[in-house]
Amino acid sequence: MGLSAPRGGQSRNSPSRVKKAETKTGVSFARSAAKPGLIARKTAHRLLGAILDAGTSMDGLTDENHGHPHYLALDVRDRALVRAILLSALRHHGDLSAIVDGFMGKPLPAGASPVRHILVAGLAQILFLDVPDHSAADLAVTAANDDPRTRRFGKLVNALLRRASREKDELIAGIRERPRRSPPWFAQRLETIYGQETAAAIDARHRIEAPIDITLKRSEQRQAGRWAERLGAVVLSTGTLRLEGRSHDVASLSGYTEGAWWVQDAAAAIPARLFGDISGKRALDLCAAPGGKTAQLADGGAQVTALDASNSRLKRLRENMSRLKLADALETVASDLFAFRPDAPFENVLLDAPCSSTGTVRRHPDVPFTKSMANVEKLASLQARMLDRAAEFVAPGGMIIFSNCSLDSLEGEDVASAFAESHPEFESVPVLPEETPGLSGSTTRHGFLRLTPAHLDLGAHERSGVDGFFAARFRRISVPS
């Protein structure tokens, strides 16, 4: 079940690579190099520690160019194995940690987090990955024995993982029945905002990896059924295509190289559509990279200015837009939004602001561990300032859409409501239920769009759900005096 990883996770580390990967902490990366797959496991344990103990983002650690040196020292297969272990260990961390505690009968001693990471990673492989149980257990034991911090737990790791292998079916059934255990700040926040029932529904969706969604170019939308057939997808009520299954090499799929479509979650595709017909209009996409919404605006026929503070992300945006053959209608600006001084105002302004990303937990299960309430509060205050600034770029009669992929009302509803109160020169243009077909209950009484992973029920959890997203729409009705 679950993610599939290379069986056995064979490592092909050359001696020089292994040497490079030796650490200062006494954990030897070279000693047991003879054991295939060991370096990958040790790397997974190390990165899990960096995420859970130091709050480092998994994306940063596993970046293919700038990631953690131990990760970069691995070959492609082992990198995939490390990512699969991390994703499962994080997605099910509460459950796996509870299994460890249940088997132990008493909590692990304080300061034993390195052994907890080894156990959680081992359980993730045994319960969720296509890895032989005996190699998951053997390699966990060897990794524990090789590290002075965990050596004394070697026998315990062995006993616990062998037992998990024997009781696998009961453990998996138990996980399905057990209420989810998210990090407390996140669980409490979801319950406070959405109530117990919806919070539980969101939690259930967070246990499952998000499917891959695709936005078809306008010119292809009449052929949506044919594209769905060709790609092995279903057409959602919103027009997005959802691929069946999880393991796709997106770049090798039909239509990718020709630029017929781009990957974009069904929820993320909605905010830019709320402008309506933008053909021939000037649109400003603030915080644009990597460009999912820029592509929608350009494809909709607007003349787009895409601004982002990050040069490297803007480079990716330009590459994406070139592949989609949408670069002609595009101007890119590498600038901080606060420093931007356009020559003229825009008829359409989109602010898809940086946020805590708590709406993307299905794809990024590290988020609840790397973010905190302090991050949410800080980002909410930045978004409010960004929205004030972005409003200055809107022409009379023009429209601004504020959106982000946070599940937290502090970063969504509260920012938009405060803006409405303090900006009488703008009127709110409510999002109507007919603008979100098939996503019932996704518009709030204030006329905002509020999506969570609990939306879009297609039967099985594996096929259902969308990213968490918020959007609010305002029109400039006067110029400030």
Ligand X SMILES: C[S@@+](CC[C@H](N)C(=O)[O-])C[C@H]1O[C@@H](n2cnc3c(N)ncnc32)[C@H](O)[C@@H]1O
Residue 385 contacts residue 336 (beta carbons within 8 Å): no
Give the count of beta carbons closer than 10 Å to the beta carbon of residue 28. 16
Task: Choose, by CB under 6 A, the member of 95, 203, 308, 411 that binds ligand X.
Answer: 308
List 35, 168, 313, 316, residue binding ligand X (CB under 6 A):
313
Closest distance to ligand X from the beta carbon of 405 (Å):
6
290 is in an annotated binding site: yes
Q: Is 355 annotated as catalytic? A: no
- Dihedral of CA 192/359/116/173: which sign? positive
Window contacting ligand X (CB under 6 A); options: 17-25, 275-283, 285-293, 341-349: 285-293
DSSP one-letter code for 443:
B
**In degrees to the nearest 10, what's the CA dihedral of 431, 437, 439, 440?**
80
Report the first-to-last Cα separation within the chain, whole angstroms. 62
Q: Is 308 annotated as a binding residue?
A: yes
How far apart, in Å, are the Cα atoms of 300 and each of 61, 106, 318, 435?
Answer: 36, 59, 17, 16
Residues contacting residue 142 through CB under 8 Å, at least 6 positions apart: 32, 35, 38
Question: Cα torsion at 378, 379, 383, 389 (round to 10°)?
Answer: 60
The CB-of-287 to ligand X minimum distance in angstroms stands at: 3
| Distance of closest approach, residue 272 Cβ to ligand X, in angstroms | 8
Nearest to ligand X of 352, 435 (CB atom):
352
Q: How far is the CB of 301 from ligand X (least distance, A)?
A: 18
List the one residue from 146, 352, 408, 435 that touches ligand X (CB under 6 A). 352
User: Considering the rule CB under 6 A, would residue 411 count as an interface residue with ligand X?
Assistant: no
Report the nearest approach of ligand X to the CB of residue 400 (Å).
14
Residue 18 and residue 39 in contact, taking contact as beta carbons nearer than 8 Å: yes
- CB nearer to ligand X: pick between 220 and 285: 285
Match 């970069």 to its residue by tokens.
72
Contact with ligand X (CB under 6 A) among 288, 454, 466, 472: 288
**Can residue 89 be called a binding residue for ligand X (CB under 6 A)?**
no
Nearer to ligand X, 142 or 215 (CB): 215
Is 336 marked within a binding site? yes
DSSP category for residue 364: -
- Please check if 63 is assigned to a binding site: no
Check the annotation: does 289 bind a ligand. Answer: yes
Query: How far from the centroid of its chain's Cα atoms is residue 173's Cα?
Result: 26
Nearest to 415 by CA among 397, 388, 433: 388
- Is residue 352 annotated as involved in ligand binding? yes
For residue 10, what is the DSSP state? -
Of 315, 381, 342, 361, give the one whose Cα is nearest residue 453: 361
Minimum separation from the CB atom of position 478 to ligand X (A): 27
Asked if 349 touches ligand X (CB under 6 A), the answer is no
The residue among 139 and 390 lying less far from ligand X, judged by its C-beta, is 390
Per the annotation, does 101 bind a ligand? no
**Site membership for ligand X, residue 336 (CB under 6 A):** yes
Whole-number minimum distance, CB 363 to ligand X, in Å? 13
Task: Provide the residue count of the chain.
Answer: 481
Our finding on whether 384 is near ligand X (CB under 6 A) is no
Q: Is 63 in the site for ligand X (CB under 6 A)?
A: no
Closest alpha carbon to 324 in 296, 288, 305: 296
- When asked if residue 32 is in the footprint of ligand X (CB under 6 A), the reply is no
Residues whose CB is less than 8 angstroms from the CB of residue 281 and which lie 6 or more positions away in sequence, other chains included: 302, 303, 347, 348
CA-CA distance, 303 to 315, in Å (whole number)?
19
Binding piece for ligand X, criterion CB under 6 A, among 19-27, 111-119, 288-296, 436-444: 288-296
213 is a contact residue toward ligand X (CB under 6 A): no
Gap between the Cα atoms of 385 and 18, Å rounded: 48
Give the C-alpha distances (Å, rounded to integers) separating 232 from 236, 244, 259, 463: 13, 6, 18, 13
Binding-site member from 52, 236, 309, 456 for ligand X (CB under 6 A): 309
- Which range, of 73-81, 154-162, 181-189, 282-290, touches ligand X by CB under 6 A? 282-290
Catalytic residue (choose from 330, 394, 405, 456): 405
With contacts defined by CB under 6 A, how many residues of the chain interact with ligand X? 16
Binding site residues, ligand X, CB under 6 A: 287-293, 307-310, 313, 336-337, 352, 354
Catalytic residue positions, numbered: 405
Q: Please state the residue numbers annotated as binding site for S-adenosyl-L-methionine.
A: 287-293, 308, 336, 352
